[in-house]
Amino acid sequence: MLPKYKRILLKLSGEALLGDQKNGDPFNPTIIEQYAHDIKSVTNLGVQVAIVIGGGNIYRGMNEAESGIERAHGDYMGMLATVINAMAMQAMLERFGVYTRLQSAINMEQVAEPYIRRKALRHLEKGRVVIFGAGTGNPYFTTDTAGSLRAIEMKADVILKGTRVDGIYNADPEKNSDAKKYDTITFNECISKNLRVMDMTAFTLCMENKLPIIVFNMNKPGNLLKVVEGVNVGTLVS
């Protein structure tokens, strides 16, 4: 089957890397291996893949009053956590024979290229998976915002938000068994219903640039391939 999308931005949450483990490790190797396998299956179709990974499994911004760590300082710590996740993802992808490049918004030449838009575009055109680490490089912005920004800069056809939930619901499906799932929904409906798809900065970037978002369960093997092929998986926001 021919892919529906030629170039995608895959946004992965750090928390999703935990899987269902409860032993305190920052990520579950089985989950990263499954992600790498699924990403390779997509690149085999000729789809160009860019990735942004969160860092919430390692460090989440804490309340400044409780932690004593000011917000900006804590956000930089979170950015470093995303680089650790990005390096783990890169190592697993290359183990599967997928060519990758890791670019960081914070200069750390020993482990990653600096983020250069034109260079990233060339990597994608050559079939390399480009992983963007360190968010936007600025405090007060989430990795959702980084994902939306990079997707627009890379001229992606769609942003795929891979989570542990299989779409957007009108209530938290983990707490409410009667929660209703949306197959498709508009940007304006998400705002009017106060559905937290992404933080508002990230969401507005997508809406203003007419960039569709698909929220789906990345932890179910094969889902990424189905989404790219146009199968109705998850929730489409357009």
Residue with tokens 């490790």: 25
pLDDT of residue 78: 92
- Quick count: other Cβ atoms within 10 Å of Cβ 174? 10
Q: What share of the chain is helix, strand, coil (3-state, %, to 5)?
A: 40, 20, 45
Give the total number of structural domains in the chain: 1
User: Considering the domain boundaries, does residue 128 fall inside one?
Assistant: yes
**DSSP H stretches of helix in 96-236:** 117-125, 143-153, 187-192, 200-208, 223-229
User: pLDDT digit of tens for each residue in the chain (238 aa)?
Assistant: 789 999 999 999 888 888 777 656 787 889 999 999 999 999 999 999 999 999 988 887 666 777 788 989 999 999 999 999 999 999 999 999 999 999 999 999 999 999 999 999 999 999 999 999 999 999 999 999 999 999 999 999 999 999 988 999 998 888 888 889 999 999 999 999 999 899 999 999 999 999 999 999 999 999 999 999 999 999 999 9
Q: Which two tokens mark 50?
A: 């860019």
Domain of residue 70: give its range.
Answer: 7-237
User: DSSP states of 85-128 as a string?
Assistant: HHHHHHHHHHHTT--EEEEESS--TTTSEEP-HHHHHHHHHTT-
Structure-block tokens of residue 44: 């085999």
58 falls within a domain: yes
The pLDDT value recorded for residue 16 is 82
Query: How confident is the model at residue 23, as a pLDDT?
Result: 58
- 166 is a domain residue: yes
Rounded CA-CA distance 46/234 in Å is 22
Tokens matching residue 121: 């575009």
CATH of the domain at 61: 3.40.1160.10
Rounded to whole angstroms, how far apart are CA atoms 63 and 219? 29
Residue with tokens 């917000």: 71
Tokens linked to 155:
């001229």
Q: What is the pLDDT of residue 22?
A: 63
Domain membership of residue 1 (yes or no) is no
* Residue 31 within a domain: yes
The amino acid sitting at 236 is: L
Is residue 2 included in any domain, yes or no? Answer: no
